[in-house]
Chain A
Amino acid sequence: MDATSRLRRWFDERFGWNELLAFMEHKTVPRHRYSYWYFLGGMTLFLFVIQVITGILLLLYYQPTPNEAYESVQYIMTQVRFGWLIRSIHAWSANLMIFTATLHMFSVFFLKAYRKPRELTWLSGILLLFLVLGFGFSGYLLPWNTLSVFATKVGTDIAGQTPVIGKWILVFLRGGEDVTGATLTRFFSFHVAVLPALATLLVGIHLLLVQRFGISVPPSVEAEWKANPLQQREMRFFPNFLLRELMAWYVALAVLGALAALKPWELGTKADLFAPAPPGIRPEWYFMFMFQTLKQIPAKIGPLDGELLGVLGFGAAFLVWALLPFFDPGRPGRTQRWITGAGVFALGYVVVMTVYAYVAK
């Protein structure tokens, strides 16, 4: 017996290795015309792993204090070998991850993959999307540049509009009444400790649920397969699906490398807490639709502040969005048409407002 099979037997005797292998051999995913949408979840996970690796690398040089943060990122960008590459990939990958996660969400929505019994998978995914946005928001402040400080002022002020506990949230997020060095310390701890712990836990739950329920088949394909069972196709997860996914990951890596090399992430100017907001200031693209909405709402609507109404409106909309699967009866009909309509409206609103924000300036 050679060394490999001896090692294999050693593991099998202790951990039931062969059972696990047999299980993996039998794992399949359905194969149909929408199969390609399945790649988005794995793609988001891949980008998350890239974030963890590049994030750890950035931690080797980054210093989370208001006096040193900007300079330490500058040092990474200009002095450390390939520092520009690591930071640019971290920033670009963050943006791509938000993009793929959002696309993943809408594809799950329109393919109705959230139907019973997968409501909790959907909910854990929504929570993960919020965590990803939280990563984006907290990480944005860390280079301590002008744009990031104003983005943090605006973002935390919006969170502070929450009725009753708003003030508490604001002070908790800022580490005081105002955005100061204390805010940087907090955001750093959120970004590298709190959020990664929560995200790891939730990704684990999300994947366990996906594994438990298997991958959903869209209703239209399901109906076709029911009518003609011979049409039903599936693909082995190992290695067929995984190899395809791997190819997609390689493409993503190439895109990341190209973006980082051709458009290294900018650093901007060091934050000055007593400087006015620079003209043309605006948030990252993924917050643009909310930014544009807040800009459009008049100062007062009846007795209420417009901003408060906007913030409450978005809060309510996100809540309804997260709970939509629980309203889906699971069969075609009026309710399902309404739900699809809501999805089309949500996607349309986000796209139109984002484009409008860039065109209107």
Chain B
Amino acid sequence: MTDESANQEGRPKRRHFLEVFLGTAAVASLASFFYPVLRYIIPPPTAELASDTVLAGHVGDLKPNTGKIFRFGSRPALLTLTSDGKYHAISAVCTHLNCTVQYRSDLRSVWCACHNGMYTVDGRNISGPPPRPLESYDVILKGDEIYVRRQKNS
């Protein structure tokens, strides 16, 4: 290889180096512009429920074979009183597509109006599209107050 040809090959090399250098710098600066924007559009996490127990209602609020929605942190939950006098508490957020379920006295079941999903009062999915059971909570009676607590294993 003569000196001359080496010199000629050196130029494209230098150009290539400059292109890579400029390209990397451009990509890096773009990344530094977009990274804050990407982080910005995802909101900061909301505060979780301070305790795992909430007051869902009082004895006497519910007649047998009825149910009511209460707030469990930021999400709705369902407290039901069956005909035999037992309280049940479950999440009211349907496992299918997120609608809020309700207790149907006529069916003695928990029903989601959006896509006709059906659960038992303790949250087991029995018919329709729901793929999973609703989360079930512990019910604790203290005097006439009804407390609902997230189960330990979940």
Contacts and interface: CB of A to CB of B under 8 A. Distances in A.
Interface string A286-304: 0000010011011110000
A277 B97 contact: no
Contacts of A332: none
A215 B141 CA distance: 74
B74 A307 contact: no
Nearest to B99: A277
Interface string A123-163: 00000000000000000000000000010011011100000
B25 interface: no
A276 B99 CA distance: 8
B124 interface: no
Contacts, number: 81
Contacts of A277: 99-102, 112-114
Q: Which DSSP category, helix, strand, loop or mixed, fits chain B's interface?
A: loop
Nearest to A152: B98
Interface stretch (B1-9, B79-87, B128-136): B128-136
B67 to A, nearest CB: 9
B131 A307 contact: yes
B107 to A, nearest CB: 12
B129 A276 contact: no
Contact of B115 (A178, A182, A276, A295): A295
Interface string B39-74: 001110010000000000000000000000111001
B76 A273 contact: yes
Given A153-B99, A276-B102, A294 B115 contact: yes
B60 to A, nearest CB: 21
Given A153-B99, A274-B76, A277-B112, A306 B46 contact: no
Contacts of A20: none
Contacts of A176: 43, 46
Interface in A316-351: none
A294 B69 CA distance: 26
Interface in B96-144: 96-102, 112-116, 125, 128-131
B92 interface: yes
Given A153-B98, A154-B99, A158-B97, A275 B69 contact: yes
In this complex, the interface size class of chain A, counting residues with CB under 8 Å from chain B, is 35 or more
A305 B97 CA distance: 12
Contact of A150 (B42, B71, B114, B129): B114
A30 interface: no
Nearest to A296: B129
B131 A300 contact: yes
A297 B129 contact: yes
A168 B97 contact: no
Given A294-B97, A299-B129, A276 B69 contact: yes
B59 to A, nearest CB: 21
Contacts of B113: 276-281
A307 B96 contact: yes
Chain A to chain B: the 3 pairs with minimum beta-carbon distance, closest first: A276-B102, A277-B113, A157-B98
Given A172-B42, A274-B70, 13 more contacts: A154-B97, A156-B98, A168-B42, A171-B42, A175-B43, A182-B43, A273-B76, A277-B100, A281-B99, A295-B116, A299-B131, A300-B131, A306-B129
